[in-house]
């Protein structure tokens, strides 16, 4: 009995040891499997960020943004180029030597552009809220050339179409210090070769292909002009329809030099603050001067176009008064 009991003890002990070993191995295998999953996740994260850093190092941010801008604007026929861009994720962004050319040959250049925008907004195109300030600007469009010292834009736009560029929102424009060095033919009757621009301020509301000019103030060397109305944007910008109301007030110096224009504007308005509509298209505007009968004179309604420009009589020429019946 003693021998049998002595033999049974090692057998039971060995069985316990084997059970403990198997349990320990199972726990170790579970721990190893858990660590393996964590290591896989960690390795994947390290690999992803390494690849991202590698891409950023090999492909500078300028080239990435250049590619995004080209992809986003090529469908609309707009070409955008620049010499250099400084694009930190936070803070002010800067572009040197910006160049924009539309399919209608509207050309815009700026020596330096500072702006604030979230990089996600450029990629997503859902909404763009930005303040843009550019210096040494030059705009050339439809036989008109204009330069400006400073241009500020306050932009709040939402793109409602994922495939195409359909914008809704508002744009505030503030321009100071500049010159219009080449005027379109329709303004040849002004008799000036260059116009100094003191300030231009406009508030625009954009809904799809419609631009509503809620407020437009132009302070230029020959006049102060108030402008409001709407423009229906066409795929060819030159063919965009417009309905504008223009209220000019000649400067004292220019009114003295062009007394004929001053008298004409006073004649066309009972209040001395004349407003008249501009209709037609961007490329072929029509200025309809709605003359009111005054002092027994029934004026005509001239239409100013490139083919039929308004040519006022020289200064000092007395007005022609039609004979009245006795």
Sequence spans of domains, the chain = 13-58, 106-304
CA distance 177 to 236: 30
CA distance 211 to 243: 11
Distance of CA 103 to the CA centre of its chain: 16
Nearest to 97 by CA among 62, 135, 71: 135
Task: Enumerate residues 6+ apart whose C-beta is below 8 A from 241.
Answer: 231, 232, 234, 280, 281
CA distance 311 to 326: 32
CA distance 73 to 102: 10
CA distance 234 to 240: 5
pLDDT score of 60: 65
Three-state secondary-structure class, residue 276: strand
Q: Which helix (H) or strand (E) holds 7?
A: helix 2-58
Nearest to 276 by CA among 309, 263, 266, 312: 266
pLDDT score of 270: 64
CA distance 134 to 138: 10
pLDDT in single tens digits along all 326 residues of the chain: 444 544 454 555 555 456 565 656 555 555 555 556 777 788 888 888 888 777 666 666 667 777 777 777 777 778 888 888 887 777 788 999 999 998 888 899 999 999 887 766 666 666 777 889 999 999 998 788 999 999 999 999 887 565 566 788 999 999 999 999 998 877 787 888 899 999 999 999 999 889 999 999 999 999 999 999 999 998 888 889 999 999 999 999 999 999 888 888 887 766 555 788 889 998 888 876 554 333 333 334 343 344 444 444 444 444 444 333 33
pLDDT score of 176: 94
State phi, psi for 240 to the nearest 5 degrees. Answer: -70, 130
Distance of CA 222 to the CA centre of its chain: 28
pLDDT score of 231: 95
pLDDT score of 154: 93
Q: Are 261 and 250 in contact (CB under 8 A)?
A: yes
Q: Are 149 and 165 in contact (CB under 8 A)?
A: no
Predicted structure pTM score: 0.68
Q: Are 113 and 134 in contact (CB under 8 A)?
A: yes
pLDDT score of 315: 43
CA distance 238 to 103: 10
Strands (E) located in the chain: 79-81, 84-86, 93-101, 107-116, 127-141, 144-159, 167-182, 195-207, 210-220, 223-232, 241-250, 276-280, 285-288, 303-304
Neighbours of 94 (CB within 10 A): 14
């Amino acid at each position: 009995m003693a021998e049998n009991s002595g033999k049974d003890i090692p057998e039971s002990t060995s069985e316990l040891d084997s059970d403990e070993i198997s349990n320990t191995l199972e726990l170790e295998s579970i721990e190893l499997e858990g660590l393996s999953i964590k290591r896989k996740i960690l390795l994947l994260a390290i690999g992803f960020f390494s690849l991202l850093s590698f891409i950023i190092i090999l492909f500078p941010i300028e080239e990435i943004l250049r590619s995004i801008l080209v992809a986003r604007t090529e469908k609309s026929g707009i070409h955008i180029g620049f010499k250099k861009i400084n694009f930190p994720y936070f803070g002010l962004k800067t572009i040197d030597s910006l160049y924009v050319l539309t399919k209608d040959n509207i050309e815009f250049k700026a020596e330096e552009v500072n702006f604030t925008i979230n990089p996600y907004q450029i990629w997503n195109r859902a909404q763009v809220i930005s303040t843009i300030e550019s210096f040494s600007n030059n705009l050339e469009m439809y036989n008109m050339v204009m330069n400006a010292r400073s241009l500020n834009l306050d932009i709040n736009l939402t793109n409602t179409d994922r495939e195409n560029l359909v914008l809704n929102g508002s744009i505030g424009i503030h321009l100071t210090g500049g010159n219009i060095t080449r005027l379109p033919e329709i303004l040849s009757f002004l008799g000036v070769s260059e116009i100094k621009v003191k300030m231009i301020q406009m508030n625009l509301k954009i809904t799809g292909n419609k631009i509503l000019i809620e407020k437009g103030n132009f302070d230029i060397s020959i006049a102060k002009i108030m402008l409001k109305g709407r423009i229906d944007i066409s795929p060819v910008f030159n063919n965009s329809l417009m309905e504008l109301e223009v209220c000019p007030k000649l400067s004292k110096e220019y009114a003295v030099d062009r007394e004929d224009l001053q008298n004409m504007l006073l004649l066309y308005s009972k209040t001395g603050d004349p407003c008249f509509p501009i209709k037609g298209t961007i490329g072929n505007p029509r200025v309809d001067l709605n003359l009111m009968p005054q002092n027994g004179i029934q004026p005509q309604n001239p239409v100013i176009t490139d083919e039929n420009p308004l040519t006022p009589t020289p200064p000092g020429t007395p007005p022609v008064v039609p004979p009245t019946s006795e």
